[in-house]
């Protein structure tokens, strides 16, 4: 054997035989490929391949691509066809060099093996491109559901409260609102959540092709007791020291927010706050007073009120011509004032100079009560209804003589 291999002629013959054998093997492999027709080339078809647009999505909107899907035919050796990926390839239409309008463009094939022949049918598509437009819109939150019993959902707080809507320019006029929704059903504490936004037209339908920046916002809905904001009214008790009067009482807040059961807050027109004691005051005073909770009210905001009391030396003034106000009259009787003959009173009043300067007779009521009295003549006490911070002068007790008689033609008894 060694002798044969050392013979160059033998080696040449062996090499020739080996080359022929390899040629035969290769050609036998090609000729055995099904559908090759003896050429060694195979054909493979892929249907319904989507056309992928290459474009600036921030500036343009693809209105249509026709056809949207194509047929791809591959030709090549089986070994090469086996290298075609099941995904990752694409049929692409390049729109980067065209603007809005209608275009017919040739398709490109992406990520197919280099030894495979690729044919696309059809080879081109019609594309309609539209520019995009932007519009800033406020964000509206629809709060749904009912909180736990006795509680109430407050105004939703949105961050950010505006969004930029981008749509095809032909649909810009359709944009009517940007909305989202959050549920507070059975909630007993504030509800905080990130929610997705949507763009709607005036008929409540979502606008096609719209995008939103940001697409998601933070929403918080406070859950509280029912509440109402009403004026705060202060009461006073006592009077300043003799010779002094109240010029004014001012407070740092005019209104308070009241929290409590719905039936309680619904009936409130104002809230009666703390009582301010004026007894024996001779000089100005500042107070910080708690606003009391009452009638099942659970919370008041603010809970304190700052009060300034201005005390000044009193002055006196006489008011003439104050008419009587008679209350409790019987419709079947005539009632008249006999004395004083003028039917009017004069009264001395005490108060701060600025208060009395503005005081007029019509600001004072002289009231006589004739309720349940039968016909006759009576000397009745007169009660005086004076404006705030105005006092009667000392030792003034008033009486009026009232005559009650039956109206002519009628006999009546007191009711």
CA distance 292 to 275: 10
Say which residues have a Cβ less than 8 Å from residue 41's Cβ, sequence separation at least 6: 33, 75, 76, 77
On the question of a common fold for 42-122 and 316-406, the answer reads yes
**Which backbone phi and psi does 150 adopt, to 5 degrees?**
85, -5
Q: Where are the domains of the chain?
A: 2-31, 42-122, 132-223, 227-313, 316-406
CA distance 178 to 197: 7
* Tokens at 219, concatenated: 């929403």
Q: E strands along 214-270, which residues? A: 216-221, 223-224, 227-237, 244-251, 255-259
Return per-residue pLDDT of the chain as tens, 415 residues. Answer: 555 556 666 556 666 666 666 655 545 444 444 444 445 788 888 899 999 999 988 889 898 999 999 999 989 888 878 777 777 789 999 999 998 899 999 999 988 888 888 999 999 999 999 998 999 999 999 999 999 887 889 899 999 999 999 999 888 999 999 999 999 999 989 999 999 999 999 999 999 888 999 999 999 999 988 889 999 999 999 999 989 999 999 999 999 999 888 888 889 999 999 999 999 999 999 999 999 998 889 899 999 999 999 999 999 999 999 988 999 998 889 999 999 888 888 999 999 999 999 999 999 999 999 999 999 999 999 999 999 999 988 777 889 999 999 888 665 544 4
CA distance 395 to 279: 20
Q: What is the CATH number of domain 227-313?
A: 2.170.120.40
| 3-state class (DSSP) for residue 109 | strand
**Which backbone phi and psi does 258 adopt, to 5 degrees?**
-110, 130
Name the CATH code of domain 132-223 (choices 3.40.50.720, 2.170.120.40, 3.40.1180.10, 2.40.50.140): 2.170.120.40
Contact, 351 vs 245, CB < 8 A? yes
Q: What is the CATH number of domain 316-406?
A: 2.170.120.30
Name the CATH code of domain 42-122 (choices 2.60.120.10, 2.170.120.30, 2.60.120.380, 3.40.50.10800): 2.170.120.30
């Amino acid at each position: 054997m060694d002798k044969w291999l050392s013979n160059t002629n033998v080696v040449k013959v062996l090499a020739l035989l080996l080359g022929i054998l390899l040629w035969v093997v290769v050609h036998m492999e090609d000729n055995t490929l099904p559908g090759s027709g003896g050429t060694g080339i195979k054909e493979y078809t892929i249907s319904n391949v989507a056309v992928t647009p290459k474009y600036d999505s921030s500036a343009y909107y693809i209105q249509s691509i026709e056809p949207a899907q194509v047929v791809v035919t591959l030709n090549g050796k089986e070994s090469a066809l086996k290298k075609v990926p099941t995904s990752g390839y694409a049929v692409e239409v390049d729109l980067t060099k065209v603007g809005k309008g209608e275009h017919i463009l040739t398709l490109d094939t992406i990520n197919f093996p280099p030894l495979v022949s690729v044919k696309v049918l059809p080879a081109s598509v019609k594309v309609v491109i539209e520019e995009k437009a932007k519009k800033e819109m406020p964000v509206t939150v629809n709060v749904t559901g009912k909180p736990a019993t006795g509680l109430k959902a407050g105004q939703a707080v949105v961050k950010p409260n505006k969004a930029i809507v981008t749509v095809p320019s032909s649909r810009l006029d359709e944009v009517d609102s940007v909305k989202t929704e959050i549920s507070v059903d059975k909630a007993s504490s504030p509800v905080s959540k990130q929610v997705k936004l949507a763009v709607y037209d005036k008929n409540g339908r979502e606008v096609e092709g719209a995008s939103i920046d940001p697409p998601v916002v933070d929403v918080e809905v406070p859950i509280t007791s029912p509440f109402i904001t009403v004026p705060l009214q202060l009461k006073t008790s006592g009077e300043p020291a003799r010779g002094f009067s109240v010029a004014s009482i001012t407070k740092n807040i005019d209104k308070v927010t009241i929290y409590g059961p719905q039936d309680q807050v619904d009936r409130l027109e104002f809230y009666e706050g703390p009582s301010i004691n004026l007894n024996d005051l001779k000089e100005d005073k500042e107070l910080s007073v708690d606003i009391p909770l009452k009638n099942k009210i659970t919370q008041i905001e603010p809970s304190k009120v700052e009060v300034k009391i201005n005390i000044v030396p009193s002055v006196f003034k006489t008011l003439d011509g104050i008419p009587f106000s008679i209350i409790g009259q019987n419709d079947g009787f005539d009632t008249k004032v006999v004395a004083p003959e003028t039917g009017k009173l004069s009264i001395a009043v005490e108060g701060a100079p600025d208060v009395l300067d503005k005081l007029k007779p019509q600001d004072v009521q002289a009231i006589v009560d004739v309720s349940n009295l039968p016909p006759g003549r009576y000397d009745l006490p007169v009660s005086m209804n004076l404006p705030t911070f105005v006092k009667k002068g000392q030792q003034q007790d008033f009486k009026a003589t009232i005559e009650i008689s039956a109206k002519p033609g009628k006999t009546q008894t007191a009711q």
